[in-house]
Amino acid sequence: MMKDNLLVAVSLVVIVFSIGGLISSYGLVVEIVSPNVLTGHATSTGTINVTITENVLANLTSSNVNWGTGAITGENSNATIDTLGNISRGNWSALSSGLVIKNEGNVALVLDFQSNKNATNFIGGTSSSFKYMITNVDSGACTPPDGFVLGTFYETNTSTIQICDSFAPNESVRMDFELTIPSNSNLGILSSTITIGYNKVT
Amino acid sequence: MNKKQRLAVILLILAIILSVISIIIHVAVNQIEDSSGDNSGEENPVLQGTIQLTVQPSEGRPNDEG
């Protein structure tokens, strides 16, 4: 009889510990799920310190610019195509949107741009051109570095170029491209991989 | 097995179940914390895109040029 009572008592102690562990786990989950929820009652004055975790994140709304298949029309010496909807002296498909980069985080970012090919490597031929242009989708989204002007096409090269000194959170910038394809360009599928690097403003 | 022994066994089984749930929650929470820590630790995040077109020979240009 005594042994039975002892067994029940020990079991009760064990279950109390288990419930304690479960409550502790519940507390952890609540902390994770709702880190910004504060409750409490200040009796006179008090200080609330809230730490908001930095989130460094940018996204491309689409990762591919593809004009499809085409050729220089007539006897023209070159064609010019861009992502603003213009196709001159060629019959590629018109594209009216470039890449849109959005700052999805909560801190301002530095943006830089690099291509694995310049115009010669990408398109080839005589006087080919591979240009890019940055414009703000949201007013004031990108503060460019000195000497870099938004809304202006620049020739692409393979070195890394800083395009935004400060890219505001929750804002977007657009990256457009303009290609000049000479009549003696490379043929077939031509592609270049561009890389947008980002990090928080220090 | 009398009533008290049965009660003790039930309580112990319950305690084991609660402990297992508690351990699973702790492990899951630790994994979430670890993964979020990994993301913030990335130093050089990048986005990549492709610029592509297919060029066919223009008029008066031989197919094998280029």
10 Å Cβ neighbour count for A4?
A: 16
State the average pLDDT over residues A49-76. 88
CA dist., res. A118 & res. A104, Å (int):
29
The answer to the question of residue A10 being in a domain is no
Nearest CA in chain B to A117: B51
10 Å Cβ neighbour count for A129?
A: 19
Residue A39: pLDDT band (50, 70, 90) is low
The answer to the question of residue A162 being in a domain is yes
pLDDT at B65: 41
Task: State which residues form the domain around A137.
Answer: 58-200
* pLDDT tens, residue by residue, B16-50: 888 888 888 888 888 777 765 555 455 679 999 99
The reported pTM is 0.66
Smallest Cβ distance to B53: which of A10, A29, A68?
A68
State the average pLDDT over residues A126-140. 95
Helix H or strand E segment including A197: strand A188-200
Q: How many structural domains are present in chain A?
A: 1
Spell out which residues of chain B touch residue A22, defining contact as CB-CB under 8 Å.
18, 21-22, 25
The answer to the question of residue A117 being in a domain is yes
Q: Is the ipTM of this complex over 0.85?
A: no
Which whole-number Å values give the CA distances from A29 to A23, B29, B30, B39, in the listed order?
A: 10, 7, 10, 20
Smallest Cβ distance to A7: which of B4, B26, B36?
B4
Residue B66 at interface with chain A, using a CB cutoff of 8 Å: yes
Question: Which amino acid would we find at residue A166?
Answer: S
The answer to the question of residue A37 being in a domain is no
Which whole-number Å values give the CA distances from B58 to A82, A92, A153, A183, A185, in the listed order?
A: 19, 12, 26, 7, 10
CA dist., res. A111 & res. A158, Å (int):
16
Tokens of A168: 């505001």
The answer to the question of residue A41 being in a domain is no
CATH code of residue A63: 2.60.40
The answer to the question of residue A15 being in a domain is no
Residues sharing a CB contact under 8 Å with residue B36, sequence separation 6 or more, in sequence order: A53
CA dist., res. A88 & res. A109, Å (int):
36
DSSP conformation class of B28: H
Would the CB atoms of A70 and B54 count as touching at under 8 Å? Answer: yes
pLDDT at A171 over 80: yes
Residue B35 at interface with chain A, using a CB cutoff of 8 Å: no
Residue A18: pLDDT band (50, 70, 90) is confident
A residues 170-189 closer than 8 Å to B (CB): 177, 179, 181, 183-189
pLDDT at B64: 44
A67 or A48, which is more confident? A67
- Which of the given ranges, A39-43, A79-83, B27-31, has the highest pLDDT on average? A79-83
Spell out which residues of chain B touch residue A177, defining contact as CB-CB under 8 Å.
51
Instruction: Supply φ then ψ for residue A82, to 5 degrees.
Output: -145, 180
The answer to the question of residue A155 being in a domain is yes
pLDDT at B66: 37
The answer to the question of residue A51 being in a domain is no
